[in-house]
Copies of this chain bind each other. A is one copy, B any other.
Amino acid sequence: MLPEPISRELCQKLDAADPLSAFRGRFQAPQKDTIFLDANSMGAMPATVPDRLASFCTDAWVELRRQGWNHFEWMERPYQIGQSIAHLMGAQPDDVIACDNTTVNLYKLLTYAWRVRSSGNVILSEDGNFPTDLYVAQGLPNALVGEPTIKICNSRDELIDRIDANTAVIYLSHVDYRTSARWNMADICQRAKEVGALTVWDLSHSTGAIPVDLMGSDADFAIGCGYKYLSGGPGGAAYLWVNPRHADAAWPTICGWMGHENVFAFATQYAPHTGAWRHATGTPAVIANEVFSCAADIWRDVDATLLWDKHKQLGNLLIDTLEQECAALGVTINTPRNYDERGGHIGFSHEGAGPLCEALLDAGVVGSFRKPNALRFGLGALYLSYENIWETVERLKHILNTESWRQAKYQKVSV
């Protein structure tokens, strides 16, 4: 709790002292008076994107076409983007690449982890893992050598209890996409190591928001979404990371020409690139990567410690302001209050959260609704101000006080 009652003036003071405030200007603000609290779904657009795309269309595509493969950085973008975001996850620059989507990267690294495992035959996960993560695992026994057993636990306690000598791979979302509950990565990695198991982490709801320390935690593999907290653009490339100790252990599962040691040799025989880059597959998503590059230009300039600290302060402020202003109106925080136990978004419960979410949208506050009664606010620390938090809660309070959100029109759209 802050030392004085929270007010707009206090938030303005916090903004005036914000060492990251200059970054707000590097993202495109909406014309409407909208506050986007949707970084868990879609990060803000870097301000350079429109010009980059315009010049791409005319200079790179229309005028140069296939020469673009040589004249521009099309082929290097996956590595440049990886290098630009690696510090946000405690990784070395060359161990991260931006490629494919999250699901495909999950498949590539989970199968790779299975193949380079030291022992065990069980892949252990929990039902709080994002659905596509679970689906990827469930599909493995149909195709993968070695007869993996997939065990999806119903609770975190159960998962910890089940870690034993039969465990080959522990496969988790670092932060739960619903509850924002964060795993203690270092603890799980330690438990895994004690039984000879490997860890695969989905960082989609972590990287760019909260501290991630892959090397310090001695994790084995990680992947994540590029378009949430990282602002890589709708449907932009995901990323993957491989601990250097595994990087040259085996061929990738999907052997493609972008993972070849010499891409443009057009050799008949596959030979893997050294390191994590072997997990690149086919032609990079050139246009999409131009967009993600605009975000990478920003991330290169970001001190991760300052980012994490601001995200923490924004989250604490949001929790405290919701409690101060709206607790009496039925708002109950439903994500961890303890900072070390939560991820990128703050959530709360309120009856009729569906219609409430729609009423907030009408009032220019973009959050996301989850059945039956939960709302999530994902915090993009580079472009949100402390005053945005105050204003968000003011609008919520106004809606709750006027009861306008119970109107039929909101009921209709939130089934």
Q: B-contacting residues of A (Cβ < 8 Å)?
A: 28-32, 34, 36, 38, 41-42, 44-45, 49-50, 53-54, 57-58, 60-63, 65-69, 74, 100-104, 107, 111, 115, 127, 131-132, 134-136, 138-139, 142-145, 152, 225, 227, 233-236, 238, 250-260, 266-270, 281-289, 291, 361, 366, 368
Contact = CB atoms under 8 A, between A and B. Distances in A.
Contact of A238 (B61, B107, B139, B282): B282
A361 B134 CA distance: 50
A224 to B, nearest CB: 12
23 contacts: A31-B62, A36-B66, A42-B65, A44-B62, A50-B58, A53-B54, A74-B234, A101-B285, A104-B256, A107-B254, A127-B268, A131-B267, A131-B268, A132-B256, A132-B258, A143-B143, A145-B145, A225-B283, A234-B287, A235-B283, A235-B284, A235-B289, A287-B291
Contact of A60 (B100, B101, B234): B234
Given A107-B254, A251-B139, A44 B32 contact: no
Nearest to A266: B131
B366 A66 contact: yes
A144 to B, nearest CB: 6
Nearest to A107: B254
A383 to B, nearest CB: 11
Nearest to A253: B143
A256 B136 contact: yes
B234 A61 contact: yes
A352 B87 CA distance: 47
Nearest to A270: B135
Contact of A66 (B45, B289, B368): B368
Given A32-B63, A50-B54, A287 B135 contact: no
Count identical subunits in the complex.
Answer: 2
Contact of A135 (B111, B127, B257, B289): B257
A41 B63 contact: no
Nearest to A127: B268
A258 B103 contact: yes
A38 B69 CA distance: 12
Given A45-B61, A53-B53, A62-B28, A254 B136 contact: yes
Contacts of A256: 101, 103-104, 107, 132, 135-136
A111 B143 contact: yes
B65 A36 contact: yes
A57 B65 contact: no
Contacts of A152: 268
A259 B138 CA distance: 13
A132 B288 contact: no
Contact of A268 (B38, B62, B134): B134
A49 to B, nearest CB: 6
A66 B41 contact: yes
A31 B59 CA distance: 10
A34 B54 contact: no
A227 B32 CA distance: 36
Given A101-B282, A135-B256, 11 more contacts: A28-B62, A42-B61, A42-B65, A45-B61, A67-B366, A115-B142, A131-B257, A135-B270, A236-B286, A238-B282, A285-B285
B281 A104 contact: yes
A148 to B, nearest CB: 11
Contacts of A135: 255-257, 259-260, 270
A255 B136 contact: yes
Contacts of A60: 234
Given A67-B361, A132-B256, A49 B38 contact: no
A63 B29 CA distance: 8
A106 to B, nearest CB: 8
